Structure 1
């Protein structure tokens, strides 16, 4: 899916989720997890939420609202991207939903409490809002021509009444829906 080096992953799968674990070897060693969990059925297809973050060994889940700043972001993101084609090998009739943990109005409210960026939250400005989805959009925009050969991509608009539309590079979206072409 991309040509940036990636970490080797270990697959853990059951009927509730598909997880890929790997070790981030930046400034320190951190176990990370990429998780595909079913959250909606539509037209006979299961839509899986793509989650990513530090792995919590105590309960087998991910902590997706933390910034590790481990110095290996490109390799970590490449590892996330490399699981997409692997996921679709066994779930080719399903879809992947991508939305950052920082893409909700609740995030803005929580961020407002201890904002260190000098945002004008009262007027809708939050510099941390949508940072995670912007990373995915940047990758899709940069590789759109190649990606649409294998995938059908939709964007979820950031409006008062959000809608799902055909993905157009450079447009703003708060979520992305991806299907594998047959």
Structure 2
């Protein structure tokens, strides 16, 4: 699902008693930053386990993931490729699993908080900082859709909360989330 030659080494960790996986790696640049790709079980989706893909910096002191930092390590392609490399790994562990990808910058709370602190002064209808994260994934998917569609099925989400309101993914259409499932042959 990505360029395997331009990725960081990842360490997998499964939390006993939880259904989900974590992949840790270190972003290298101006400073070393521990990053984590977090797959958390959400619920059943079409009789298959649905996992939310979360990604961000790992806050070791508080044992949590923060996704609102900009690291500025100048390694964004390598980081993105590393995140993508974990998707097939999740499907190896959970053969019937389904992944939902959403951006935390698409939530109403993000937009409200942004309006309160943003210097851009966007109008009420559009926040210019919103939906950037899902846009990155969608751009990659649109570019490689024909190839990826051979192995995976994709569905677009118009909302953030209800993963049942899906439609087959259409290239170029703006979605608030994407559901990925490995084709079961």
TM-superposed deviation, 1:95: 0.3
Distance 2:176 2:85 in 1: 22
User: Which ranges in structure 2 are unaligned for 5 or more consecutive residues?
Assistant: none
Equivalent residues of 2:111, 2:127 under 8 A apart: yes
Task: Give per-residue Cα distances to partners, 1:28-68, cap 9 Å, x unaligned.
Answer: 11000000000112333110000000001134321122222
Distance 2:44 2:137 in 1: 23
Distance 2:143 2:135 in 1: 12
Distance 1:158 1:171 in 2: 13
| TM value normalised by structure 2 | 0.91
Distance 2:52 2:159 in 1: 18
User: Which ranges in structure 1 are unaligned for 5 or more consecutive residues?
Assistant: none
Aligned partner of 2:178 in structure 1 is 176
User: In angstroms, what is the RMSD of aligned CA positions?
Assistant: 1.8
After alignment, is 99-108 or 60-69 more displaced?
Answer: 60-69
Distance 2:35 2:157 in 1: 27
Equivalent residues of 1:2, 1:82 under 8 A apart: yes
Equivalent residues of 1:158, 1:172 under 8 A apart: no
Aligned partner of 2:93 in structure 1 is 90
Residues paired across the two proteins, number: 179
Distance 2:11 2:95 in 1: 20
Q: How does 1:56-71 map to 2 (within 5 A)?
A: 56-71=59-74
Aligned partner of 1:2 in structure 2 is 2
Equivalent residues of 2:45, 2:98 under 8 A apart: no
Distance 1:12 1:47 in 2: 18
Task: Give per-residue Cα distances to partners, 1:51-94, cap 9 Å, x unaligned.
Answer: 00000113432112222222110000000000001110111201
Distance 1:67 1:155 in 2: 27
Aligned partner of 1:49 in structure 2 is 52
| TM value normalised by structure 1 | 0.92
Aligned partner of 1:102 in structure 2 is 105
Following TM superposition, the consecutive aligned residue runs of length 4 or more in structure 1 with deviations greater than 4 angstroms are none
Distance 1:114 1:61 in 2: 24
